[in-house]
């Protein structure tokens, strides 16, 4: 089984509390190898105040929802469902049915709006790692990571183009690890 992203419904306004409780439960019950990242989808918006000044603030993209990257085992599913403040998973028909994960392109779009990527850059991407380009003009081509620009969420991949090794610059969300 591999880790995938799921949408969890919470009481609106309690997203931060649910995230904190779920992280504590996963750690105390020893499920860090099944429940990985928990994210509250937010974006930065500019707000003009009455005096004309502009202020940036974080706005929830989907109030009442959090994203959980996890391996869907029976135990992990039970831990998330029974965390205080969680009302259920999105994509589950109920009656004990496990939910369907988000499609890669869905989670990529959400995470890229937040300046993040589906892959854990620190552990999954490094120079020499083999990847497949999953988006853009070079979609379907395989190559090797030549360099990483973590600050700008970009990397250079060496691909075989017409029998010649060619560097191509792509964003993190445009590749998947082989």
What's the pLDDT tens digit per position in 46-65? 888 889 899 988 889 899 99
Q: What is the pLDDT of residue 111?
A: 82
Residue 122's pLDDT band (boundaries 50, 70, 90)?
Answer: low
Listed by start position, the domains of the chain span 4-116, 123-177
Q: In this structure, what token pair is assigned to residue 63?
A: 């109030």
Say if residue 71's pLDDT is above 80.
Answer: yes
CATH architecture type of domain 4-116: 2-Layer Sandwich (3.30)
Q: What is the pLDDT of residue 119?
A: 66
Q: Categorise residue 52: left if φ over 0, alpha if ψ from -120 to 50, beta otherwise.
A: left
CATH architecture type of domain 123-177: Roll (2.30)
Bridge partners for 69 per DSSP: 5
């Amino acid at each position: 089984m591999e880790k995938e992203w799921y949408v969890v419904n919470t009481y609106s306004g309690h997203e931060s509390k649910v995230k904190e409780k779920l992280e504590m439960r996963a750690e105390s019950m020893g499920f860090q190898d099944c429940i990985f990242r928990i994210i509250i989808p937010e974006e930065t918006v500019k707000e003009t105040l009455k005096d004309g000044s502009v202020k940036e603030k974080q706005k929830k993209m989907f109030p009442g929802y959090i994203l959980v990257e996890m391996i869907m085992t029976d135990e992990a599913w039970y831990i998330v469902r029974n965390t205080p403040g969680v009302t259920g998973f999105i994509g589950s028909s109920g009656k004990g049915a496990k939910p369907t994960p988000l499609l890669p392109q869905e989670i990529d779009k959400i995470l890229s709006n937040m300046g993040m990527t589906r892959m854990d850059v620190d552990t999954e991407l490094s120079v020499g790692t083999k990847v497949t380009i999953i988006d853009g003009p070079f979609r379907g081509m395989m190559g090797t990571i030549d360099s990483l620009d973590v600050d700008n969420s970009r990397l250079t991949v060496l691909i075989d183009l017409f029998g010649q090794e060619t560097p191509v610059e792509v964003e993190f969300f445009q590749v998947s690890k082989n």
